[in-house]
Chain A
């Protein structure tokens, strides 16, 4: 499928999707030394988002989260891009700190369609999902 989002930070990226059903924070939900998701009891616990396209509803809390995103980027453990319904201030800032593409305002069709493991590419605010 193809769809469009609102460009919060522009850029090109491609990778496999990791789809979270809960708001995400780089602090608490994520380990920058491994790139793994650390949300307790979540089905994606222990799965890496390094180099992946992170799909989530929105972000949350944690004012030092952008520092954690930066540490992850330096270790090669940051996601390649973020796709969300609403880029809250901290998630937006985290993506800007490491200059990865982030789009928000993606439609419900997209969130119904997208599954973990699908190949996604992003360019000029346009999202292409293969498979």
Chain B
């Protein structure tokens, strides 16, 4: 690899052991992947789940992050302030809290932004089209590539942290124009796209992800007036049932003004046709029987926007969670403060709901309370992970947001 002087200095330890370790990981990785050089990144987004010893090794002697770095949602849904209200066990909390404190010391010393969200673009980490970045979180990666046209690879957590600390990343993969074009085309057949619901969009995403696997997706035939929440619902399941890194929506997303441009004037390798029966079959994968009552409702995977919080508050006005029911809502702290100012958070909390800046897909170890057997969510991604991480203990159904709320409140 061709390295700049500052990259060489970092690699040989001139700037301390943390930068030495980080740069050597980036160089060895870059060489293995055939990268010719490093490039500066304009932002990073890292996962607050590091083993503390590793975080200390990688930041030893480092004064501040090498680029603007925000933090991903609190993992496993565990919130250090709200865990009791959420019904998470004390034994789980007593293991997590000391480790979180150790990490927080490092974050504050190096100036990580304590955003704790899977949608960092909503709270100030807003890269421009064409920017090189290193972001973690399969949805954050997919959204920023697809909706903003900034460029991140599906870096793993260690490479991503090394990039945040050095401010550099190997020039490879999705940083290059030719790797960003569509590979598979999705055509909707007999689907009424005008009145399309969030659940239908999520089902389309979940179905397409399992068939596209790691390939770049282009979706054709969706109306231009779908809002950002619609597009998030559509895209969020793609890296759960598959490992899609980029999804162009023709006429909506920046690298897909036309079908031809989305494919870089190449032919699609495969056409995935989605009809009504594919949507219904996908919905049936995460459904409850008619007689099954819902114990818990999870909203906010990906994190709720302020408009979604308003909708939840409006639906919960004058209502309470029914006895023994639970409701977790994922949304960034910053949105929570706005919801507080506007009076929405009080309505939700008075009804018995909890709003947390944590991961509602509950990755990686799902501390869903023991008394929960059935769960309703509006997210196929949350349904996918919660049903797997609880090893079948919790049965998860996907419904519209209003149906999820009705199922636990009255």
Chain A residues at the B interface, C-beta cutoff of 8 Å: 8-9, 27, 61-67, 70-71, 74, 87, 89-90, 92-94, 96-97, 104
Contact = CB atoms under 8 A, between A and B. Distances in A.
Given A63-B156, A64-B363, A65-B156, 16 more contacts: A63-B136, A63-B137, A63-B154, A63-B157, A63-B160, A64-B47, A66-B156, A67-B50, A67-B51, A70-B54, A74-B51, A74-B53, A89-B153, A93-B155, A96-B29, A96-B158
A87 B159 CA distance: 15
Interface in B15-58: 25, 28-29, 32-33, 47, 49-51, 53-54
B246 to A, nearest CB: 16
Contacts of B28: 8-9, 96
B387 interface: no
Contacts of A64: 47, 49, 156-157, 363-364
Contacts of B54: 67, 70, 97
B25 A67 contact: no
Enumerate the 4 nearest inter-chain pairs by beta-carbon distance, A residue then B residue, closest first: A66-B158, A97-B158, A8-B32, A93-B156
B358 interface: no
Interface of B: 25, 28-29, 32-33, 47, 49-51, 53-54, 136-138, 153-160, 243, 363-364
Contacts of B159: 66, 89, 93
Contacts of A93: 25, 29, 155-156, 158-159
A70 B156 contact: no
A62 B243 CA distance: 10
30 contacts: A9-B28, A27-B364, A62-B156, A63-B47, A63-B137, A63-B138, A63-B154, A63-B155, A63-B156, A63-B157, A64-B47, A64-B49, A64-B157, A65-B157, A66-B157, A66-B159, A67-B50, A67-B54, A70-B54, A74-B53, A87-B32, A89-B29, A89-B33, A90-B156, A92-B29, A92-B33, A93-B25, A93-B29, A93-B158, A96-B29
A94 B101 CA distance: 25
Given A27-B364, A63-B154, A96 B25 contact: yes
Contacts of B50: 67
Contacts of A94: 156, 158
Given A8-B28, A9-B28, A63-B136, A89 B157 contact: no
Contact of B157 (A61, A67, A74, A92): A67
Nearest to B54: A70
B29 A71 contact: no
A96 B159 CA distance: 9
Contacts of B25: 93, 96-97
A103 to B, nearest CB: 11
Contacts of A74: 51, 53
A37 B160 CA distance: 26
B143 to A, nearest CB: 15
B51 A70 contact: yes
A4 B54 CA distance: 32
Contacts of A90: 156
Contacts of A104: 32
